[in-house]
Amino acid sequence: MALVELTWAIRAKRHVLCGAIVARWIASLFGLPSSGVMHFPEFRYNQSFAMGTSNPQSQQKTAAVISRPDRPEVGELVPGLLRWLDEHGYQVITDAETARYCPGKGIVSRTEMGARPLDLVVVLGGDGTLLSAARATAAIDVPLLGVNLGSLGFLTDVPPQAMYRTLDAIAKGQATIESRALMTCELVRDNEVIGSHLVLNDAVVNKTTLARLNTYELYIDKVFVSSYSSDGVIVATPTGSTAYSLSAGGPVLMPSVAALLITPVAPHALTHRPIVVPDSAEIEILLRSNDEAAYLSLDGQPGLDLRSGDCVRCRRSQHHVNLFRTGSDFFQVLRSKLKWGEREA
């Protein structure tokens, strides 16, 4: 019976770690009462949890520092940050943008950081900098601490004055981690995938500045939905629902909602409205443009040129982005950033 329980626990790794069941199994093998063995904390998928702490001298840890290069605050924050990381047993690497403030530290490009065994990533900048860091490190599921040096800060919600307080909470295992879903976006041309990308906010199929309306065919799980004559179509994650999609008239989704959002941009027909679908769905946008130009933009980055007949395929990724949060609830963030309920004096 004990071996059956152990097998069940291992297979259920997405929901509950098998510590308590392993403890009962060990007890049954050695004839110990269950109260006489170690009990392990339960960990549930996609929930906040307290990180365990370790002796900095007994285990080498690695932290990466990524920053926005044109912010003067970076030079003010980095020296103290490096001292804190050194005192807490971290080996530090930086991207090229931060290297001038970190003499003697290893320089690693952002694209290569996803291949490093990182324990912590500190991002100094705005949401755009964090989006770049998230895409670069998504494959290793390392938690990111975003320190807001930008103007909005939906994702980088830790202000500079709270950076050390949050770092101390991380060191004590008391920091809150929030898991955000990523989306995989593929560009398919002539039935061949010519590009695959991870996206945290959104994928946008759009016309160029001087082009006229394009035509887009939308399919969900291979089922035809509609044909849009519009400037473009946005496919957004719940995190991206407060980005471009919001300005195009899309709804706000809580980050915990298991869904994807499809929002047409300036559609010619007023009956074309945003659509929310389960994140298990596969979304395909087929471009029918004839001679009109179009491009694909991922998380607001410079676009990839598209041709008529190209297909943009989006679905939920197996990877997540883990963000350290200050504890503010989602609606408090909306009230603060979007000025909900405020009137001009």
- Asked if 127 is an active-site residue, the reply is yes
Supply 25's token pair: 């199994």
Q: Which of 127, 202, 231, 310 is catalytic?
A: 127
Alpha-carbon span 101 to 55, nearest angstrom: 28
Contact 227, 216 (CB under 8 A): yes
Of 66, 256, 33, whose CA–CA distance to 149 is shortest? 66
Longest alpha-carbon distance in the chain: 78
Q: Give me the sheet containing 259-265, strands edge to edge.
A: 275-278, 259-265, 232-236, 202-207, 294-298, 304-306
Alpha-carbon span 91 to 89, nearest angstrom: 7
Alpha-carbon span 41 to 341, nearest angstrom: 41
Contact 147, 76 (CB under 8 A): no
Owner of token pair 């929310």: 276
Just list the catalytic residues. Answer: 127
